[in-house]
Structure 1
Amino acid sequence: MKKYLLILIGIVLLMIPNGCSKTGVVEDPYIDPHIIFTSRRWWNYDIFIADVYGGHMTHLTKNKWLDFNPAIS
């Protein structure tokens, strides 16, 4: 009986470090896609950025020159 109890305790002790190795934290990088576009507003072409749903739009360029064909890297 003691032999089986020792084997059972050994198995449980071996499983404890393996069970705690995954914390459930996502380690993949989060990708936050945006749309960059040119629009003619305020009598000039300027570059804007918005989220994929069309909300949270930000005016990137605001000057007297025509800004078009946005490119990112």
Structure 2
Amino acid sequence: MFLKYHHGFLELQLIDIMICVEQKNLLILKYNMDLSYKEISNVLDINESTVKTYLFRAREQFKNKWGVMYNE
């Protein structure tokens, strides 16, 4: 997925510019740490359906900002 660190610090720096900290943290928990929705909900102490909603919004925000930056 798009958050595996292929380019280390540079990629994380780009993500910091593109989305807010909360969204970045959710994406890291899901895609870098490979946590399930249930595990993320336990870590953050929020409902599992809320995790799904927040992750959907974070992915959309990331895609929208990525497209603007790279004219996609």
Compute the TM-score of the two structures, normalised by the length of structure 1.
0.27
CA radius of gyration, larger in? 1
Instruction: Give the number of the structure whose residues are more often helix, by fraction.
Output: 2
